[in-house]
Chain A
Amino acid sequence: MSEYNPVVTAISPDTVSERRWPKSLTEVPYWVFQDEDVYKAEQERIFHGPMWNYLCLEAELAAPGDFCATFIGEQPVLVTRDHDGQIYAFENRCAHRGSLIAMENYGHAKDFTCVYHAWTYNLQGDLTGVAFEDGINGKGGMSPDFCKAAHSPRRLRLANVHGLIFGSLNNDVPEIEEYLGQEILDRIERVLGGRKPVVLGRFTQNLPNNWKLYMENVKDSYHASILHLFFTTFGLNKLNQKGGIIVSENGGHHVSWSAINREAEAKAAGHYKDQKIRSESDYQLEDPSLVDSFSEVGDDITLQILSVSPGFVLQQIQNSIAVRQVLPTGVESTNLNWTYLGFEDDTEEQQLVRMKQSNLVGPAGYVSMEDGAIGGFVQRGIAGASGEFATVQMGGDQAVSSESRVTEASIRGFWKVYREAMGFDIEESK
């Protein structure tokens, strides 16, 4: 199996390294969402760099032979479960002439045969067969010193975090526990630990914007109650929720959470007797059962949005659980892959709640549809402004955890990790 060696590419990465990035984390240059050379360098330094990329769920590879064809950045990869029960991942690219080895997104196979010239790979990605390797009637065929073992697709490093499969094409990436940090690990465990997820549906949303605009949006707890007016309009905002932001030590990962504040609710109950909902709104849902929830894991947390750099999100919005995979497909286009989850031990009632609350999220989600468009508004807004900067000063200039969600700390953290990985020249503020 060939190991990954960082390759000096023909895209002249030096022009990217010479780009200057403000020292303060509060300024983000708009060219980072616009320029082709930056986009190409990201494929190498971010997606092929020392990062862990979400690939799929272990639950999606339940049986030996199950596979998932996914991507790291733009690069197609294949994730499989072999008969030894282990999960493997390798480049989804035939070692011969580069064709895709598997085309179906999710499927089941004994082995993989490239359709072009029938080169065959086992479930671990080893090249096991070459059609007409010995030629026909002693004529043609591969040279006798052709070694199949030397021509297998590159294998990925893999990590399994409570059923989330992450992969990396880089040998220098730290162990996943170190990469994520304890606080992020704990919050993944909170939702997925010891549970068997069941896929309820998969949807892809094409976003008309650079992938980083979506990651900024995910990490932006400041916009939630301003852009997404569904809860406010229908008077569904819970009083006195408590919550906060966790930013991982390196800055790259975050958790935004809120919980029912039982003390405050008890006090408020005195003022608003028998009113579950305090509605100052003119509008009410005809079927308010949409927001009837159960405690997801036995605690009071009703919202937990967790992101892992470069492009992964684990979401709990009430009882809507989903993972989101953010895949760049061009400078100004991104695929957002949603996988909606339930759990094996869900009761029928709980399953019904999840179905109803699937309306909150996804491409048509009451509290998420705006996020599909807002990145495009920014992308269009910044046209012609590549020399200008976004300003992210809410909550200070650091990338640290905070009790307030009126902060852009986790956005600053994202850029901290990003600019370092990209190797930009960091300059003192003007």
Chain B
Amino acid sequence: MDVFNLISRAQGSYVRSIDDGPIEDWAEHFTDDAFYKVTTADNHRRGLPAGVIWANNKAMLKDRVSALKEANIYEPHSYRHLLGQPAILEESDGGATSETSFLVIRVTGNGPTDVFASGRYLDEYVVEDGQALIKKRIVVCDSSRIDTLLVLPL
């Protein structure tokens, strides 16, 4: 399977784990040494390093999931991710870099369907055993604003 299809498969599975669960599967889309950050276009453009979520290994991503399941308190809500087609920017034997746009709809409690976030994934994928895994994902949100709180990952 070519890298476009591998990445598309991985991303389809990725958003399903967040939107429909089980959320524990989310971290399994990353390599053990993966880097994951959620930031804004403004921070990204200015080269500011911090993230609203910042992780430099898979264990930290698993901790995100345990925290949101066991520790943090929030109103129940769900996401629906809509992804564009991945743009493959660079390709090598072992992987690829790609960019994919996203739109995330959030429904909180009995509330309406709200547009929660739009942006792009700046990704580095590695292909291992016929599967694309995220080695690096920078989630760049278009807006600098986050409504209320960010619990589930993007």
Contact = CB atoms under 8 A, between A and B. Distances in A.
Given A290-B60, A358-B51, A363 B72 contact: no
28 contacts: A105-B144, A200-B50, A202-B42, A202-B43, A203-B146, A204-B145, A206-B145, A206-B146, A208-B147, A228-B73, A233-B67, A234-B67, A234-B71, A285-B63, A286-B59, A286-B62, A286-B63, A351-B49, A352-B56, A355-B54, A356-B54, A356-B60, A358-B50, A363-B148, A363-B150, A365-B52, A369-B149, A373-B148
B144 A202 contact: yes
B75 to A, nearest CB: 6
A283 B66 contact: yes
A359 B67 CA distance: 11
Please classify the interface of chain A as helix (H, G, I), strand (E, B), loop, or mixed, using the class held by over half of its residues: mixed
Contacts of B48: 199-202
A94 interface: no
B63 A290 contact: yes
A365 B68 CA distance: 11
A373 B146 contact: no
A227 interface: yes
B17 interface: no
A233 B69 CA distance: 11
A204 B50 contact: no
Nearest to A363: B146
Interface string A347-365: 0000110111011001111
Interface residues of B, number: 36
A47 interface: no
Contact of B74 (A199, A204, A205, A370): A370
Contacts of A227: 73
Given A201-B39, A355-B49, A364-B38, A372 B148 contact: yes
Interface of A: 105-106, 199-208, 227-230, 232-234, 283, 285-287, 290, 335, 340, 351-352, 354-356, 358-359, 362-366, 369-370, 372-373, 376-377
A97 to B, nearest CB: 28
B151 interface: yes
B148 A204 contact: no
Contact of A233 (B39, B62, B71): B71
B40 interface: yes
A205 B144 CA distance: 8
B146 A201 contact: no
Contact of A364 (B43, B145, B150): B150
Contact of B72 (A290, A366, A377): A366
